[in-house]
Amino acid sequence: MSESLLQPEERVLSTLNADGSRRWLKPRLSRGKFLFWRRIVAYTLIAVFTLIPHIKMNGKPMILLDIAHREFTFFGTTFLPTDTLLLALLLLIVFFSIFLITALAGRVWCGWACPQSVYLEFVYRPIERLFEGAPGQRKPKSMIGLRKLLRFVVYLMVSAFLAHTFLSYFVGSENLRHWILSSPHEHPVAFLVAIATTGLMMFDFGYFREQVCVVACPYARFQSALLDRDSMIITYDYKRGEPRGKVRKAKPGLEPGQALALPVLGDCIDCTMCVQTCPTGIDIRKGLQLECIGCAQCIDACNAVMAKLNRPLGLIRYSSQRAIEEGKAKILRPRVIIYPLILLILISAFVTVLANKRDAEFFLLRERGLPFQTLSSGEIANQMRIRITNRTNNPAEYTVELVGEQELRLQTENNPVLVQPGEQFNERLLIIAPPDYFDVTPKTVQVRVHDGDAYEETKPFIIHGPRTRPLPQPAKPNAPSNPEPSDG
């Protein structure tokens, strides 16, 4: 088989060479107003990301994703696994916000705020340029090995810091500080997790890099469904730019009118600066592509070229496909009306559920085994397990009692019980009935838990026992209450 048959007609992936090997991208840095604002946004986000685990709200971390205990704290409010509705609403709000932002502004998240782009473009690549030089201005070959080693060491330090910051979102900054300051022998699992996370950061930002956006991130795959022809994207104005071609000067000696004999070209001079600066290695002039992360580097690159040529800026710009094709933009369309309406409903539901969230919650579960036991005293005991969760930020004392049942009594070791903020109390409880209590079986009793203050909640619980009491006889409606004895 000839070699040409194996060659694909066009590049399959921007990070692959025709022979299947990795195409390493070394994008040129293009300075301009978008790079200026992206830098400000990026370093602000890095500062925020680093500080959040250390900020407390209501005595709790601002954000803590405690997967081990299945508790999620956002802005000082802790959500438990039982907050399914709140968590589901929160997730839906996040999803619909992404849908709306993408419909309006394309992949603005990817280019401006995604940690992958922010750390790669504004931390790791600048370190690389520092030690190895920018593309086109390579540093002298001397001491290349030493510079690579230094770059690796700095990468490792940054990755370790980033990994620890990342982990503090899951374990809390206090735990992390304790682990860092104590010997790895005391917490080998945490130590290994920190090492593995640092290794992952090194792999991602040192090796895998833009391939996360190009082949791994699911968001890019949804792009075609989330965007429409009116979404704002970074786009090349092909009407103005084509036919592209190098700037050619009229030959000396030609009359002004003869210069028109030169082919009429568009504004794109085919300098490929927009391609050389692209961090995902694509050519925006081919139209909207899945790999485009909306970083605006091609805008800055092309604007610099246009400025040098004294041509209007914006050959590549934020625009929409319809605006480029038809010359007019359409902002209002069904999806940008429907998404905000859905978001409004979801946010209202979330706020309502959150506002009505109780200070505590309790659950009753029947213990495994026999439905009831007969005690040596002849009394009937039903076993259950009670779980009380204190959702407030203060310790609270909870009392468990039966409602309207004079004959029944509760037996437990702790009643009332003190529960610390965010903690759960979990204990076995007996409901004890006298031997002749059950005229019907099973029976439903009401269990109430209160803290003597704002929290009070009552739940039904079914108890079982032997039917030992006759059912009360209904009174006969027409029978005389004190019949006279008959004469006989």
* 269 is a site residue for ligand SF4 (CB under 6 A): yes
* 273 is a site residue for ligand SF4 (CB under 6 A): yes
Strands 424-433 and 380-390: antiparallel
- Between CA 182 and CA 187 the distance in angstroms is 8
Residue 268 CB, nearest distance to ligand SF4 (Å)?
3
Looking at the Cβ atoms of 116 and 382, the one nearer to ligand SF4 is 116
* 274 is a site residue for ligand SF4 (CB under 6 A): yes
Task: Please choose, out of 222-230, 282-290, 344-352, 468-476, the segment that lies near ligand SF4 by the rule CB under 6 A.
Answer: 282-290
Secondary structure E strands in 217-343 = 233-236, 316-319
Query: How big is the site for ligand SF4, counted in residues (CB under 6 A)?
Result: 29
Considering only the C-alpha atoms of the chain, give the largest distance between any 2 of them, rounded to a whole number of Å. 152
- Between CA 264 and CA 267 the distance in angstroms is 10
Residue 32 CB, nearest distance to ligand SF4 (Å)?
12
Cα–Cα distances (Å) from 61 to 48, 176, 246, in that order, read 14, 13, 58
Taking CB under 6 A as the criterion, the residue among 100, 194, 293, 400 binding ligand SF4 is 293
Note whether 274 and 283 are within 8 A (CB).
yes
**Ramachandran angles phi, psi of 472, nearest 5°:** -60, 135
> Residue holding tokens 């009552």?
458
CA 335 to chain centre: 23
- Between CA 347 and CA 253 the distance in angstroms is 72
Taking CB under 6 A as the criterion, the residue among 15, 173, 297, 390 binding ligand SF4 is 297
> Residue holding tokens 């009643």?
415
Looking at the Cβ atoms of 112 and 362, the one nearer to ligand SF4 is 112
Going 314 to 316 to 317 to 321, the CA torsion angle's sign is positive
Say whether 48 sits in a helix, a strand or coil: helix
Taking CB under 6 A as the criterion, the residue among 280, 320, 389, 390 binding ligand SF4 is 280
Secondary structure E strands in 197-236 = 233-236
Residue 205 CB, nearest distance to ligand SF4 (Å)?
17
Write out the binding residues for ligand SF4, residues 120-179 only, by CB under 6 A: none
**Ramachandran angles phi, psi of 378, nearest 5°:** 90, -10
Looking at the Cβ atoms of 188 and 243, the one nearer to ligand SF4 is 243
Taking CB under 6 A as the criterion, the residue among 64, 123, 220, 305 binding ligand SF4 is 305
* 284 is a site residue for ligand SF4 (CB under 6 A): yes
Taking CB under 6 A as the criterion, the residue among 158, 201, 301, 386 binding ligand SF4 is 301
Contacts 24+ apart (CB under 8 A), 53-56: 53/165, 53/168, 53/169, 53/172, 53/173, 53/176, 54/168, 54/173
Task: Please choose, out of 40-48, 98-106, 275-283, 328-336, the segment that lies near ligand SF4 by the rule CB under 6 A.
Answer: 275-283
- Between CA 105 and CA 320 the distance in angstroms is 9
User: Between 312 and 331, how does the x/- string for binding to ligand SF4 read (CB under 6 A)?
Assistant: ---xx---------------
Looking at the Cβ atoms of 113 and 454, the one nearer to ligand SF4 is 113
Taking CB under 6 A as the criterion, the residue among 114, 194, 234, 384 binding ligand SF4 is 234
Task: Please choose, out of 233-241, 256-264, 355-363, 407-415, the segment that lies near ligand SF4 by the rule CB under 6 A.
Answer: 233-241
- Between CA 349 and CA 252 the distance in angstroms is 74
Residue 233 CB, nearest distance to ligand SF4 (Å)?
9
DSSP string, 169-181: HHH-HHHHHHHHH
Note whether 223 and 290 are within 8 A (CB).
yes
Write out the binding residues for ligand SF4, residues 64-103 only, by CB under 6 A: none
Task: Please choose, out of 13-21, 181-189, 234-242, 405-413, the segment that lies near ligand SF4 by the rule CB under 6 A.
Answer: 234-242
What single-letter amino acid sits at 114? C
Taking CB under 6 A as the criterion, the residue among 272, 352, 399, 411 binding ligand SF4 is 272
Residue 362 CB, nearest distance to ligand SF4 (Å)?
53
Taking CB under 6 A as the criterion, the residue among 89, 158, 194, 295 binding ligand SF4 is 295
- Between CA 367 and CA 447 the distance in angstroms is 16
Task: Please choose, out of 36-44, 269-277, 349-357, 368-376, the segment that lies near ligand SF4 by the rule CB under 6 A.
Answer: 269-277
- Give me the residues that bind ligand SF4 (CB under 6 A), please: 234, 236, 241, 268-274, 277-280, 282, 284-285, 292-298, 301-302, 305, 315-316
